[in-house]
């Protein structure tokens, strides 16, 4: 294997956050100048390092020995507890699912999945909702933050700080709150408990109540620069420069996407195989096998189906652009590019827009809970006609 598989332990410091030096300095400045807001919202795309920044900021606030303009010391009693993310004054709120073993009246809360959450954090602060769903053992459920979660958080934050300093509440993906939970959190933000700092880690602020957004200090976290991802891949993962450059370009500013590309068994490998199979069966007009293909992907959960269609849309774009033979315009793995050498001629000016729109409509239908067997079989049949256009 061409890269190091040993994970480097993340040390809850700003210095460990990949490619977000400017935002890290801004957060450190808030502590240094004594301007820590009661509610902060870190907004940015998945994989940009928002959770890593939130954890580094929380660690600095809870550390008792670090200087205002520095990272957490890692040696004081507070930092010792933070190594396992078990500090009594650090509270996590995140989307959860209802498991079959839970009672009919029970609303799931974060404490139900505390063990799984810490396990994920100890591996890395860079993870996706999909990875978290897998950690929880989700099937086809939608993960939400329930009203019961906000009640639990209120109880915790109403208590005095056990260590005599700040109480920090990190809310991951607040856009996943149901309306009851959102209104209860709003009340907490309007009347925050003493010495409490809320850190919201958000990917889609448009889904939040405007009243919540008006009560937080927003900091936008940009996508990670390609050069920063490339450097991290060579230094932390031992990749050769060419492989690191290719993966960094594909990553699109997301460290989690870069790591997924490294994984030989990652989801995109499955999506790539399904894309090849769909295109070959559609071109061969093999209705029987297309129906079997449809049954396979229809068995996936809706979140996975949405990711599948997003991947397909990217592949259509990359294969169309590959016709121009300009390497700077393409963002593919070596395997994807090898397939594109033969397949790109079938994605051209006559069909690229219609195929892209077809995939977009399928994704919209899946989001709106349409029957996946109908959606994917319709997609497969229409591709038969579109692929022969020239």
Give the least confident one: 4-18, 41-55, 90-104, 350-364: 4-18
Please report where in the chains the tokens 């892209």 appear, as a residue: 356
* pLDDT at res. 1: 31
> 221 near 48, Cβ under 8 Å?
yes
- Is the model's pLDDT at 4 over the cut of 50? no
pLDDT band at 319 (very low <50, low <70, confident <90, very high): very high
* pLDDT at res. 246: 85
- Is the model's pLDDT at 334 over the cut of 90? no
Spatial distance between the Cα atoms of 249 and 145, rounded to a whole number of angstroms: 34
Domains of the chain: 14-222 (3.40.50.300), 256-388 (1.20.272)
Average pLDDT over residues 362-369: 94
Q: At what angle do helices 179-190 and 147-158 cross, to 10 degrees?
A: 20
> 218 near 41, Cβ under 8 Å?
yes
Spatial distance between the Cα atoms of 238 and 130, rounded to a whole number of angstroms: 26
3-class DSSP state of 259: helix
Q: What is the pLDDT of residues 191-232, one digit of tens each?
A: 999 999 999 999 999 999 999 999 999 999 999 999 999 999
Query: Mean pLDDT over all residues of the chain?
Result: 91
Average pLDDT over residues 261-284: 87
Average pLDDT over residues 170-183: 97
> 191 near 39, Cβ under 8 Å?
no
**% the chain with pLDDT above 70:** 96
Sign of the CA dihedral running 309, 312, 313, 314: positive
Average pLDDT over residues 129-144: 89
Beta strand 217-220 pairing with 39-43: parallel
> 244 near 233, Cβ under 8 Å?
yes
Q: What is the pLDDT of residues 77-114, one digit of tens each?
A: 999 999 999 999 999 999 999 998 899 899 999 999 99
More confident residue, 120 or 164: 120
Q: At what angle do helices 129-136 and 302-322 cross, to 10 degrees?
A: 150
pLDDT band at 75 (very low <50, low <70, confident <90, very high): confident
> 318 near 249, Cβ under 8 Å?
no
Please report where in the chains the tokens 């390609």 appear, as a residue: 226
- Is the model's pLDDT at 67 over the cut of 80? no
**% the chain with pLDDT above 90:** 77
* pLDDT at res. 73: 86
Give the least confident one: 217-231, 238-252, 274-288, 336-350: 238-252
* pLDDT at res. 3: 34
């Amino acid at each position: 294997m061409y890269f190091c598989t040993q994970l480097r332990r993340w040390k809850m410091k700003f210095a460990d956050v990949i490619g977000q030096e400017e935002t890290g300095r801004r957060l450190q400045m808030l502590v240094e100048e004594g301007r820590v807001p009661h509610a902060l919202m870190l907004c940015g795309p998945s994989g940009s390092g928002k959770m890593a920044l939130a954890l580094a900021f929380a660690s600095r606030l809870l550390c008792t020995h670090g200087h205002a303009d520095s990272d957490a010391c890692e040696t004081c009693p507070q930092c010792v507890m933070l190594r396992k993310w078990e500090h009594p004054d650090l509270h996590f709120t995140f989307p959860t699912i209802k498991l079959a073993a839970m009672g009919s009246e029970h609303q799931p809360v974060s404490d139900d999945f505390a063990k799984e959450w810490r396990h994920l954090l100890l591996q890395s602060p860079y993870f996706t909702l999909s990875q978290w769903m897998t950690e929880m053992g989700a099937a086809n459920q939608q993960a939400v933050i329930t009203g019961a979660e906000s009640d639990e958080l209120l109880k915790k934050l109403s208590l005095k700080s056990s260590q005599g300093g700040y109480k920090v509440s990190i809310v991951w993906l607040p856009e996943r709150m149901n309306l009851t939970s959102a209104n209860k959190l709003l009340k907490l933000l309007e009347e925050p408990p003493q010495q409490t700092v809320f850190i919201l880690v958000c990917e889609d602020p448009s889904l939040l109540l405007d009243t919540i957004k008006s009560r937080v200090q927003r900091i936008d976290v940009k996508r990670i620069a390609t050069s920063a991802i490339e450097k991290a891949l060579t230094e932390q993962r031992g990749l050769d420069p060419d492989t690191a450059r290719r993966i960094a370009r594909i990553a699109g500013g997301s460290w989690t996407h870069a790591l997924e590309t490294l994984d030989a068994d990652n989801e995109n490998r499955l999506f790539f195989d399904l894309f090849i199979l769909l295109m070959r069966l559609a071109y061969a007009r093999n209705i029987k096998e297309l129906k079997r293909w449809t049954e396979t992907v229809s068995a996936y959960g809706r979140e996975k189906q949405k990711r599948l269609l997003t991947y397909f849309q990217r592949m259509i774009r990359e294969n169309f652009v590959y016709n121009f033979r300009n390497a700077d315009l393409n963002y593919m793995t070596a395997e994807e590019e090898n397939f594109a050498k033969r397949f790109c001629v079938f994605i051209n000016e006559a069909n690229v827009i219609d195929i892209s729109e077809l995939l977009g409509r399928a994704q919209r239908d899946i989001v709106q809970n349409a029957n996946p067997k109908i959606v994917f079989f319709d997609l497969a049949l229409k591709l038969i006609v579109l692929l022969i256009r020239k």
